[in-house]
Amino acid sequence: MFALVAVLAVVITSFGTVNSAFRVIEQLNPELNLGSLRDGGWDADPSAVLTPQQQLARDAGRQIIGSAVRSALFSALLAVIVAGLVTRQLTRPLARLVDGAGRLQAGARDVQLPLPRRKDELRDLTGAFNELTTALARQEAWRRGLMADIAHDLRTPLAVLRSEIEAMQDGVQPTDAAALVRLHGEVLLLARLVTDLRLLSLAESGAISLSPTALDGGEVLRALADAYALRAAEAGVRLSVDAPAAVPLVADPDRLRQTLQNILDNALRYAAPGPVELSAHLDGTATVLTVRDHGPGFRPDDLSRAFERFYRADASRTRDPGGRASSGLGLAIARALTEAQGGVITARNHPGGGAEFVLVFPLALLPLALAPHSLGQTA
């Protein structure tokens, strides 16, 4: 296609040049006395006797036409060669991409293509393909790790249930109320694990149902503190809420409460005893909710993996002080639910010590009638 376009361009240019040369000669014909181009010019009968001027005109015309034809042929040949080289440069990365896509389809995840030297769209496309394969390899490894984690977390309570039941069948342990309580606890752990997995899957896929409602962040935190007062007292934790003014936000109340509960459960599990501070405030164009404890905080490796599924900072501490089972999905669910509602959640070590979780909800989610100034006036 490139060669065809180039040849057509050469033909048009050559025709235009020759036509212009003939027009110039036509204009000079009266002064040079070349005669009529049709009757006595270079188109005249070759056997006719020509004047020197007419012979000069005929020779000039032939030279112009010959030069134009040679230039056209040379230009067409050069255009074909250049077009072939350029096309090869364009198709070589595409051929590599086709080959890489075939290997990727066959199951290979370590496909990395060499980047073209020219900084053009093909280089960008190849770079995007390499990033895609890297992301797929990372997701594949994550998926395999996830399946291993799920199998491990399911195997533990199932092994306990099996050993307890077999011991009862063999008469080694009595089938009494205490044994039933232990079995019931393991069943609850299994049920919670399955429920958390389903909820996390729905939240990450965007299939979870949400009912955004205008809320006061301070009231949400105070209600959470009241609900956890007894459990916090049993764990030796003192809860405090810092929200002196109305802090508007729009979120699903049930999902927001579930998010905060998961964060608070984490604080009671790993930071007890000690105070836990809940706060809500406005920061420019966003509503900020924070949960800070005064425990040991995150280690560097733990901080980067705080929201991973089934990740526990201390694998030996899978139950909180109250004996409640942990599925290892609480913080992953908290992040998925927050992001599903347009918010952002981060974890960090507070400069004053302890771990701090920060939830940020943009005020752009608020309707005009629920702007901060109107809520502040009604409060």
Q: Quick one: what percent of the chain has pLDDT higher than 70?
A: 80
Q: Give the pLDDT of residue 292.
A: 92
Flag the least confident range among 176-180, 244-248, 366-370: 366-370
Q: Give the pLDDT of residue 159.
A: 85
Q: Give the pLDDT of residue 78.
A: 83
Q: Give the pLDDT of residue 360.
A: 93
Compute the residue count for the chain: 379
> SS in 3 state form for the chain?
CHHHHHHHHHHHHHHHHHHHHHHHHHHHHHHHCCCCCCCCCCCCCCCCCCCHHHHHHHHHHHHHHHHHHHHHHHHHHHHHHHHHHHHHHHHHHHHHHHHHHHHHHCCCCCCCCCCCCCCCHHHHHHHHHHHHHHHHHHHHHHHHHHHHHHHHHHHHHHHHHHHHHHHHHCCCCCCCHHHHHHHHHHHHHHHHHHHHHHHHHHHHHCCCCCCCEEEEHHHHHHHHHHHCHHHHHHCCCCEEEECCCCCEEEECHHHHHHHHHHHHHHHHHHCCCCCEEEEEEEECCEEEEEEEECCCCCCHHHHHCCCCCCCCCCCCCCECCCCCECCCCHHHHHHHHHHHCCCEEEEEECCCCCEEEEEEEEHHHCCHHHCHHHHHHHC
327 pLDDT tier (thresholds 50, 70, 90): low
Most confident of 63-77, 249-263, 353-367: 249-263
pLDDT at 320 over 60: no
Alpha-carbon span 23 to 26, nearest angstrom: 5
Q: Are 281 and 243 in contact (CB under 8 A)?
A: yes
Mean pLDDT of 291-319: 71
| Six token digits for residue 298 | 């995150």
pLDDT digit string (tens) for 126-142? 889 889 888 888 878 77
Q: What does pLDDT average to over the chain?
A: 78
pLDDT at 291 over 90: yes
Alpha-carbon span 220 to 243, nearest angstrom: 10
280 pLDDT tier (thresholds 50, 70, 90): very high
pLDDT at 50 over 90: no
175, amino acid identity:
T
Q: Half-sphere exposure of 281 toward its Cβ, with a 13 Å CA cutoff?
A: 10
Class of residue 228 by CB neighbours under 10 A (exposed 0-12, middle 13-18, buried 19+)? buried
pLDDT at 278 over 90: yes
**pLDDT higher at 44 or 227:** 227
Q: What is the pTM of this model?
A: 0.57
Q: Give the pLDDT of residue 151.
A: 78
**pLDDT higher at 146 or 353:** 353
288 pLDDT tier (thresholds 50, 70, 90): very high
pLDDT at 91 over 90: no
Q: How far is CA 134 from the centre of its chain?
A: 13
Q: Give the pLDDT of residue 41.
A: 46
Mean pLDDT of 347-355: 87
pLDDT at 372 over 70: no
376 pLDDT tier (thresholds 50, 70, 90): very low
**pLDDT higher at 20 or 315:** 20
pLDDT at 2 over 80: no
**pLDDT higher at 369 or 60:** 60
Mean pLDDT of 5-21: 77
